[in-house]
Structure 1
Amino acid sequence: MPDILDFGNNQGDQSKKVEPADYDALVTVASSIMSLCDAKGFKTLILQPFANFEGWPDGSSERSDAFARLRGCMRIMEAAGTDMLQCWSTHAPDWEDVWDICKKVDRPNFGLCLDTFQSAGGEWADPTIESGLVEDSRNAEQVEKDWKTLCAKLARAIPKDKILFLQISDAYRMQPPLANQADDKGMRPRARWSAAYRPLPYQGYLPCVDFARAVLQTGFRD
């Protein structure tokens, strides 16, 4: 929610900083944003990112904090007028992993927030390689074939009502490639790529159309 924080810290009394865990203040800021949106005829589609939720041991302070953050996000969502929260995952990196979780949760309000960058950038592309493509035991032709197969599988496997959101963005082919190691802030190369090198579709090199077409073939947005 960096945009909500930035907005809150640039309004009114700037001597009092809005902190990430000050949910009373964040609710007030979100209400102000909703008023501005209402005046312009806009609506908040989704609140994001909600991260670092899963994997904490029962009884740990991190787990308690994760649930406190989630409850705070729910309050902010209500104030902002949205019912959708995008949750990032460390342990479920691709859509097949997330779909497996969705089937186990089996609730109507739990679904997939899909992203052309995360899928194509994880299954097809690699910012640390000169060619820009995944390089493992497969050749480029097989990588392309497997990508097409994966997109076709998505189109068949996911019911349209379980896709809640589709984000479409491209990525630049990195020249020179990014170093395959964490930077001084602990960010891995794909995280750095995601944060700083994601242009609009057709301005990069990812096969965004393949993935978007597969999503639409499910009946999403019919």
Structure 2
Amino acid sequence: MASTTYKPAIMSASLGRAAQHDFDYKVEQASKAGFKAIEIFFEDLEKVGRDLVAKNGGDASNTAELTTEQLLAAASHCYDTCQRNGLEVLDLQPFLFYEGLLDRAQHARLIEKMKVWLQLAKRLHTTTIQIPANFLPADQLTGDFDVIAADLRLVADMGAAETPAVRYAYESLCWSTHVDTWDKGWDIVRRVDRPNFGTCLDTFNIAGRVWADPTSPTGKAPNADADLKDSLERLVRDVDLSKVFLVQVVDAERMTTPLVAGHPFHIEGNPPRMNWSRHARAFMYETDRGAYLPAEDVARAIISGLGYKGYVSMELFSRTMSELGQQVPVEHARRGIVAWKKLQERLCLNE
């Protein structure tokens, strides 16, 4: 979201897993901590939707699929809650497992799902939907970037037809099957070639792919420092700032033992970096929690090097979100704003 000043945003899911923490309470804690916007997960809408169904005496079990009308009611509730707490809705995410599918019947079903997401975005008063690069197994996907771009161009045109137009922030995850680096993601953005289709740049996913390796005893990839330096220089040189729709900053814990089979976070069939991401991210500067990535270097390249101005999301996924208790959203909001203020100081950012 373009802006002349920097504003902190927080991912609502980072205040506690949606299944265990009340959405309204999470939003209230984010606002009290000093955040100006939040990202909303589809998980949040499902949780709120089920709560509203239960309140009206309906079947709110996790096996009961919510109707479009129930999801839209949830989105309206979420927007009203954010408004009461002075928070903007930065985006809706993640629209998962869409592009490059070999199963074209599933592709068609997801096009129908996107029609609902566009309605949800309108109810949330946001104009951005985030799409993570597909991380389904390789035997379910094509690696043909022209096909991937064509699929994404289709939803971009759907968003452009909305009033106001909806933008898409495409994010390369460090464990995505074919698009696992920022430069591959940027290649896709250029191929899509639509004004409302841009990139999400994330410090964890950039450093976590180029610099870090949770399966290594050192926590680092070979030639980590040189490769990251080269990567960030290319990012500053090649990326069009007008196409940077979303910036997320976060760190991660260094594993005390390699994250391979036998590690507590290992899940068979999942890429190691996915397991690492879901269990062991940390806010920036949390060295007491094992944070060790050069996340500030990546943030500096994006903000100072590219000249990005706008919301900075303090994104987090961690096993700590699954803890129970009222203190969990409070503590995550506090930790997030502490990280923001230090980043603000270190990069001399105005607010």
TM-score, normalised to structure 2, is 0.58
Determine the structure 2 residue equivalent to 1:168: 249
- The number of residues matched between the two structures is 214
Determine the structure 1 residue equivalent to 2:119: 75
Find the aligned partners of 1:108 and 1:180 in 2 and give their Cα distance. Answer: 44
Determine the structure 2 residue equivalent to 1:194: 277
Determine the structure 2 residue equivalent to 1:32: 77
Find the aligned partners of 2:108 and 2:257 in 1 and give their Cα distance. Answer: 42
2:79–2:89: 8 Å Cα contact kept in structure 1?
yes
Change (3 A) 1:68 1:170: same
1:127–1:190: 8 Å Cα contact kept in structure 2?
yes
Q: Which is bigger in relative contact order (C-alpha 8 A, separation at least 6)?
A: 2
Find the aligned partners of 2:127 and 2:65 in 1 and give their Cα distance. Answer: 20
User: 1:57, CA displacement in angstroms?
Assistant: 3.6
1:5 correspondence with 2:50: no
Determine the structure 2 residue equivalent to 1:139: none
- SS of residue paired to 1:191: helix
Determine the structure 1 residue equivalent to 2:308: 220
1:58-137 alignment runs, 5 A limit: 60-90=104-134, 91-135=178-222
Q: Which of 234, 248, 259 is the aligned partner of 1:178? A: 259
- SS of residue paired to 1:131: coil
- SS of residue paired to 1:92: coil
| Cα offsets for 1:121-172 (capped at 9, x unmatched) | 011101111100014xxxxxx3211111111110111121110111001000
1:21–1:69: 8 Å Cα contact kept in structure 2?
no
User: 1:92, CA displacement in angstroms?
Assistant: 1.4
User: 1:220, CA displacement in angstroms?
Assistant: 1.0
Determine the structure 1 residue equivalent to 2:95: 50
User: 1:180, CA displacement in angstroms?
Assistant: 5.7
User: Unpaired segments of 5 or more residues in structure 1?
Assistant: 136-141
Percent identity between the two aligned chains: 32
User: 1:14, CA displacement in angstroms?
Assistant: 6.0
1:171–1:198: 8 Å Cα contact kept in structure 2?
yes
Q: Which amino acid aligns with 1:68?
A: E
TM-score, normalised to structure 1, is 0.89
Provide the alpha-carbon RMSD of the alignment. Answer: 2.0
- With 193-202 and 21-30 compared, the bigger mean Cα shift is at 21-30
1:16 correspondence with 2:59: yes
User: 1:20, CA displacement in angstroms?
Assistant: 5.8
Change (3 A) 1:121 1:167: same
Q: Which amino acid aligns with 2:256?
A: Q
User: 1:75, CA displacement in angstroms?
Assistant: 1.1
**Higher strand proportion:** 2
Find the aligned partners of 2:258 and 2:202 in 1 and give their Cα distance. Answer: 22
Q: Which amino acid aligns with 1:53?
A: Y
User: 1:111, CA displacement in angstroms?
Assistant: 0.5
Q: Which amino acid aligns with 2:95?
A: F
1:153 correspondence with 2:234: yes
Find the aligned partners of 1:215 and 1:163 in 2 and give their Cα distance. Answer: 9
